[in-house]
Amino acid sequence: MTTHLVWLRNDLRINDNLALHAACRDSKAEVIALFLATPEQWQQHDISPKQTAFIHASLTAVQGALAERGIKLHYKACKAFDDSVDALVAFCDQHKVDQLFYNYQYEVNERERDANAEKRLNDAGVTCQGFDDSLLLPPGSVQSGDRSMYKVFTPFSKAFVRRLQQGLPECVPAPKAREGAPLKTTRIPAFDCPSEAFDETLFPAGEEAALKRLRHFAGKPVVDYPAQRDLPALDATSRLSVYLSTGVLSPRQCLHRILHEHPDALENGRAFTWLNELIWREFYRHLLVAYPALCRHQPFVDWTRNVEWQKNKAHFEAWKAGKTGFPIVDAAMRQMNQLGWMHNRLRMITASFLVKDLLIDWREGERYFMQQLIDGDLAANNGGWQWAASTGTDAAPYFRIFNPTTQGERFDPQGEFIRHYLPELADVPDSDIHQPHQWAEKHKKKLDYPAPIVDHKAARKKTLDAFERAKSAA
C-alpha cells in the first residue's frame, strides 16, 4: 500500500488545507500526519508563551478532527530545525512513506530547513510536494511592470485585486472519512518551552471557533469596519489574526466568506477595507521572499542603518511595562501584556512612540512584540515595525511622527479604553484623561501614575535631527 505523509506546521486545520487535500486524493493510499515540535527553535524566534499554548490547543483540536476521518496524527518533539529534518527522514523510513505533502513557510530558516528535507527525502526515494497554502497568491506572482516585487503597497494592492478578479483561488474541502475511522487519540504532551494561559473567550482554539468568528465578522461587522476599526474601545476588528498566523484559518476561507456575504467587496464595496488588510498581509509575506534580509532584522531603506539609536534601558522598560506617562501608549502596552494581543491602531501608536519619541531601535520593539503576541507573525510584525520606524518599504516618512496625546484624543476621546487598562486614572474626567497630570496639578490631586518620561515636542526634534544626520551620512 502507498503511504502518504502530511507534514503539519502552521496549517492546523482540515478544511482548505492544500497539502492534506492532495494527500487524500488517492482513496487507496494510507494517509498519516506528523507534527514536529521544535521548542528550542521557537524560542530563538521569540515565539510568545501564549502563542505556544494556543498552538498546542489547536494541535489537539486538529488531532481529533483528523482521527474522525481515520488519519492518525503522529507527534515528535525535537530541539531545532536540523533535528526536525533528521526526525522527519527517520520517520519516513520507519513508516515506509512514499510521498510527503507539506505547505510552504516563507521565513529564511524555514525555507532552508525545507530545502534540506526535500533533498534528503528525494535521495531516499520519497517524492515531496509543497503548496502555497498560507497565501491567496504565491510569492512572485504579483509583480510590477519591470517584473520585480512592488515596493509600494497601493500599486501592489491594485495589481493583486486585478489578479483576483480574473480568477479566485479555490477553497478545497476537508477530506472524507477513510477506512478505519474514527481512530482513538492519545494526549499530545506539553511542549518543552514556556507556555502561558490565554483568554479562551477572546481566542478560542480550534478550527470550528475560527470559522464561527469568521462567519460572524463577515456579516455586519465587516461593513462597519471602516468607520470603527481605529477605535480600541469597540470590539470592531476581526480578531482573526491569531487563526491566520497559526494556520487554523486560511486566507482563502476569509476571501470566499466575505465575497459570499458581500459580492461587491473586490469592486471597492464597503467590505473591501478589511479585505485590503488581508492584502497587506500578502504584501509583507511576498516581500519576505523577495528580500530575505528582512528575516535577518535588516532595514529595507539602507541609509537608516546610520540612525544613532538611544540605549536607554529605563525608557525601554517603562515602555514595556506601560508606564511612560502617556495614557494611550500605556493602556495599549498593558493590553498586550495582559491579553497577548493589541488593537492594530495601537500597534502603530506604541511603535511610533518607541522609535520616534524614545529613539530606541525598532528591532527592540519588534522582538518584544513577538515575545508577547498570541498572533505573532514575523512578516506582518516586521512590516509594521519598519513602517512605523520609517526604515521599511512603503514606510511612513521619517518626519511623520505621531503625537501620542492627540492620537489618544482622536481615537479614544472619552478615555473608555484608557480607563479599562489604567484604573489609576478612573477619577480623571473625560476632558483631561489624555493629560491627567495637568488636571491633578490644577486640582491638587495626587495620581498614582508616572509623569511623562519625555517631552514630545523636544523628542520629536531630537528624532528628526537623528534621521537627518543619518540620511546626510549615506
The CA-atom distances, in angstroms, between 113 and each of 19, 48, 105, 369, 442 are 18, 22, 10, 25, 62
Is 7 annotated as catalytic?
no
What is the DSSP-derived secondary structure letter of residue 243? H
Q: Which of 30, 110, 277, 366 is catalytic?
A: 277
Q: Which of 341, 385, 387, 439 is catalytic?
A: 385
Q: How far apart are CA 178 and CA 97, in angstroms?
A: 18
User: Cβ(318)–Cβ(405) under 8 Å?
Assistant: no
Q: Binding site for FAD: what residues are annotated?
A: 225, 237-241, 274, 277-284, 375-377
Give the amino acid at 350: T
The CA-atom distances, in angstroms, between 400 and each of 283, 326, 357, 389 are 22, 19, 12, 10
Q: Which of 40, 116, 261, 280 is catalytic?
A: 280
447-450 long-range contacts, Cβ below 8 Å, gap at least 24? 448/424, 449/325, 449/422, 449/424, 449/425, 450/318, 450/323, 450/324, 450/325
Is 303 annotated as catalytic?
no
4 CB-near residues (< 8 Å, 6+ apart): 23, 24, 26, 29, 30, 31, 32, 97, 98, 99, 100, 101
User: Cβ(376)–Cβ(48) under 8 Å?
Assistant: yes
Q: Which of 306, 309, 312, 409 is catalytic?
A: 309
3-class secondary structure, 260: helix
Q: What is the 3-state secondary structure (H, E, C) of 290-346?
A: HCHHHHHCCCCCHHHHHCCCCCCHHHHHHHHHCCCCCHHHHHHHHHHHHHCCCCHHH
Using a 10 angstrom Cβ sphere, with 0-12 exposed, 13-18 middle and 19 or more buried, the burial of residue 136 is: buried
At residue 181, what are phi and psi to the nearest 5 degrees?
A: -70, 150
Is 341 annotated as catalytic?
no
CA nearest to 335, candidates 410, 243, 264, 237:
237
Q: How far apart are CA 362 and CA 387, in angstroms?
A: 10
Q: Binding site: what residues are annotated?
A: 225, 237-241, 274, 277-284, 375-377
The residues that bridge with 73 in the sheet, in sequence order, are: 33
Q: Which of 40, 306, 344, 409 is catalytic?
A: 344
CA nearest to 191, candidates 48, 64, 47, 56:
56
User: Cβ(335)–Cβ(235) under 8 Å?
Assistant: no
Q: Which three cell numbers stand for residue 321?
A: 511595562
Q: How many residues does the chain have?
A: 474
108 CB-near residues (< 8 Å, 6+ apart): 292, 295, 296
Is 42 annotated as catalytic?
no
Q: What is the 3-state secondary structure (H, E, C) of 397-418?
A: CCCCCCCHHHHHHHHCCCCHHH
Q: How far apart are CA 260 and CA 276, in angstroms?
A: 16
Q: How far apart are CA 377 and CA 246, in angstroms?
A: 8
Is 317 annotated as catalytic?
no
Q: Which of 319, 362, 387, 439 is catalytic?
A: 362
**Active-site amino acid positions:** 277, 280, 309, 344, 362, 385
